[in-house]
Amino acid sequence: MENNIFQRREIKFMVDARQRAILEQAFHGHMAPDPHGESTICNIYYDTPDYRLVRASMEKPIYKEKLRMRSYGRVSSEGTVFLELKKKYKGVVYKRRIELPERQAAAYMRGEIPMPDGGQIGREIDWFCNFYEGIRPAVYLCYDRSPWYSVEDPNLRATFDKRIRFREEDMSLTAAPGGQHLLLPHQSLFEIKTADAIPLWLVEALEMGEVRQASFSKYGEAYTNIIKERSGVLCA
C-alpha cells in the first residue's frame, strides 16, 4: 500500500541546462531515474476568495499550510486523484493525503457530498475546509517532472520540474494540462527531498555546478503573476 504520510525537508534550487547536466552526471552510481520516466503532475490549489493561504505563505512564517488536489497526468472522472494537506514547520515538510476517484474528490470540494474518506487524514482535510470558509479552486498548476531515487539511502529523492504552467480556467484534473509558463525554456526547478543530511557527493556536485539554493513556490509565483496581470502589469 502506498505511503500517504510524508515527513521530510525539501530543498529547492533553480538550475539551467548546464547545471542540470552536471547534477545528472554526478547521480551516476548514487541515484537511479524513475523507471516510468518523466511524467506530468497536475494540481489544483485551493484558497479563500482573498487568497489568505498563499499570502500568508509568502510572508515566510514559521508554520504554513496549503491544500491541493493532485493527479499524475490527466485523469478521467473515475481516475485516482489525491487530496493533499501540505504543512511546513521550521523547515520540515509534512504531507498527508487520501486517494479518491476524481468525481468524488471534486464533488466533495464543491460542497456537494460529505468527506468520502472516514479516516484520520480525511477528518483533517474536512476540518481544514470548514475552517477556511469559502475555500475554492484558486489556480491550476502542472509541470513535467523527472524523479530520481537514491540507491544508497531510501530517504533521499531528487526531482527536476520543468515547463511549470498555471491557469485560472479549466480548473479540473480531467482537463488537458497547459497554461502560462513560469520558467524560461532552459530552466528547471531542482529539489532535494530528504529526511537526513545531504550526502557529501551531492554537496560537491552542487558546488561544482555553482548551484545556489532558491526560494521558489510554484503557487506563490503563479499568484504573483495573477496579481500583476489583474493590475495591468506585464510579466516577464
pLDDT attached to residue 121:
96
Average pLDDT estimate for 29-53: 96
CA distances from 14 to 6, 160, 186, 212, 236 (A): 24, 9, 11, 7, 17
Please determine, for residue 236, whether its predicted confidence score (pLDDT) is greater than 80.
Answer: no
**pLDDT of 61 higher than 50:** yes
Mean pLDDT for 31-43 is 94
- For residue 103, the model assigns a pLDDT of 98
State the pLDDT confidence band at 36, using cuts at 50, 70 and 90: confident
Is pTM beyond 0.85 here?
yes
pLDDT category of residue 1 using cuts at 50, 70 and 90? very low
Q: Which of 218, 189, 133 is CA-nearest to residue 14?
A: 189
Closest among 143, 226, 235 to 191, alpha carbons compared: 143
**Phi, psi dihedral angles at 117 (to 5 degrees):** -105, 120
Average pLDDT, the chain: 94
Q: What is the pLDDT of residue 5?
A: 72
What are the structural domain ranges in the chain? 5-230
Nearest to 170, CA basis, from 106, 234, 80, 97: 106
What are 192-214's pLDDT values in tens digits?
999 889 999 999 999 999 999 99
Note the CATH architecture for domain 5-230: Alpha-Beta Barrel (3.20)
pLDDT in tens, 140-172: 999 999 999 999 999 999 999 999 999 999 999
How many percent of the chain have pLDDT more than 70? 97
User: pLDDT grade, residue 233 (50/70/90)?
Assistant: low
Helix (H) or strand (E) holding 41: strand 39-47
Number of Cα atoms under 13 Å in the Cβ half of residue 230: 7
pLDDT tens figures, 95-149: 999 999 999 999 999 999 999 998 999 999 999 999 999 999 999 999 999 999 9
The whole-number pLDDT of residue 86 equals 94
Distance CA 16, CA 12 (A): 13
Q: What is the pLDDT of residue 3?
A: 57
Amino acid at 168: E
pLDDT given at position 235? 46
Quick one: 174 exposed, middle or buried, by C-beta within 10 A (0-12, 13-18, 19+)? middle
pLDDT in the model for residue 91: 86
